[in-house]
Amino acid sequence: MSSTIRVETITLGDELLLGIRENAHLTYLGNQLAHHGLEPAANLVIRDNPEDIRLFFSDAWKRSDLVITTGGLGPTTDDMTRENIAHALGEELVFDPSVEKSLKERFSQLQRPMPEINLRQCYRPGNAEILPNPYGTAPGLWLKKDNKILVMLPGPAREMHPMFEEQVIPRLQKEGIFPEIDCYLQIRTAGIGESTVAEKTEHLFQGKEALLVGYCAHAGMVDIRLSSLDSDIINEQALHDLADACRDALGEDFVCLGDRTIAEVIFRELRNLDKTLAVAESCTGGLLSSSFTEVPGISKVFHGGAVCYHNDAKVQMLDVPESMLDQHGAVSEEVAIAMATGACEKYGADYGLSVTGFAGPTGGTQVLPIGSIYLGYSSPVGVWAKKIQLRGDRASNRRRAATAALDWMRRKLRKYKLEEVFAASETGDLVD
């Protein structure tokens, strides 16, 4: 695989430029390209305008070896990608009867008449090949011209993702653009900033010119992306050796290889211990529970969660003593612990995790300003509380508080795992 291949992606749609919809296409395609040892040089977001499509595509086509577009292949009047890119390439649009047949079969299966407007999707640039779309009406297109490759994909993710993975990747591998092996590895960390992650690991990457290193910070976590620009120099095994060295350098800040969430890591730890979990949350308003319920199979571990925003709810649902709330306030070490232990008792769980705090933009005191968060943790070997101070807006503080709680529990499980296994063996609860 050549490391000199230039790739550009183009995402089309007014809704992307207007902020109506997030550009998830870039995230997906960037990740897929990185997995195969390529880094996109640029992503263009273009409105649904004929002149702009022709202009910006022509520039990208001149610069790049591989151009991937998403969106604008539908049947409506604002779907202009096919026609205008064909014009920019000097390609005549031809009617493809095989697409018409597929469309009619699809609408027949849906027991609906096919609108005449869908026939627009039967046209392709003369030298392009059709990429069938089993999940929608817009076929993709593959075109080789001037020693370059153009891939045109539909916009909906449920159509675009399988088309790329099942049809485009094998074609790019056959062309020698993608290697046959995965040349990408992600290392997930939590609880430290991007600069600290780099400080701990960058010495490991020195002198490795064929290695591409990237960092991505998000909501209390930092990911390191390692990919190979030349799989003959840095192969899959070399990447894993580097990852092992990073794991050692990062210590307890290392979460996992890949893109597992912290909730998934906790789930695996608790499943191995044959233990269960319940949560109680105030300012995070269900984010903790949601983090766990997104994990497949979590019912084996997660018993439930209580969102106790008002003080009365803390008393009624978790048996937090009113006197404790009066004396220490809802945002306190004592109440965080009481919420965690109350969740254990209410849901019959072995572990409890809680969050209470001032997310903002109002609330807080001189002693506990906005962003003051207390975490509570209850386990078979003890209870703890921890205070953190956040400095974002309300939405950011809520997300980061949930991440901090999850990461704290992950670290506690790792630190006290031996004690918990020993305690389980003493009581006869240890599972082989």
Mean pLDDT of 153-181: 92
pLDDT of residue 387: 98
| Residue 235: band (very low, low, confident or very high) from pLDDT cuts 50, 70, 90 | confident
The two tokens of residue 275 are: 């233990």
Sign for the pseudo-dihedral over CA of 201, 206, 212, 217: positive
Domain positions in the chain are: 7-174, 184-257, 262-426
On the 0-12 / 13-18 / 19+ scale of CB atoms within 10 A, 175 is: exposed
Q: What percent of the chain has pLDDT over 70?
A: 94
Mean pLDDT of 134-158: 96
pLDDT tens, residue by residue, 29-54: 988 888 887 889 999 999 999 999 99
pTM of the prediction? 0.79
pLDDT of residue 339: 98
Sign for the pseudo-dihedral over CA of 173, 165, 45, 22: negative
pLDDT of residue 1: 41
Least trusted range by pLDDT, from 4-13, 153-162, 226-235, 330-339: 226-235
Could you give phi then psi for residue 279, rounded to 5 degrees? -130, 155
Q: Is the pLDDT of residue 427 over 70?
A: no
Cα separations in angstroms, 151 against 4, 144, 256: 19, 9, 33
pLDDT tens, residue by residue, 76-129: 988 999 999 999 999 999 999 999 999 999 999 999 999 999 999 999 999 999
| Residue 179: band (very low, low, confident or very high) from pLDDT cuts 50, 70, 90 | confident
Beta strands in 132-228 (DSSP E): 140-145, 148-153, 184-190, 211-218, 221-228
The H helix count followed by the E strand count for the chain is: 16, 17
| Residue 227: band (very low, low, confident or very high) from pLDDT cuts 50, 70, 90 | confident
CATH 3.30.70.2860 correct for 184-257: yes
Dihedral of CA atoms 236, 237, 241, 246 in degrees, nearest 10, equals 20
Fold of 262-426: Maf protein (3.90.950)
Which option is the CATH number for 7-174: 3.40.190.10, 3.20.20.10, 3.40.980.10, 3.20.20.450?
3.40.980.10
* Nearest alpha-carbon partner for 416 in 354, 351, 355: 351
Q: What is the mean pLDDT of the chain?
A: 92
| Residue 419: band (very low, low, confident or very high) from pLDDT cuts 50, 70, 90 | low
pLDDT of residue 19: 83
Q: Is the pLDDT of residue 56 over 50?
A: yes
pLDDT of residue 52: 96
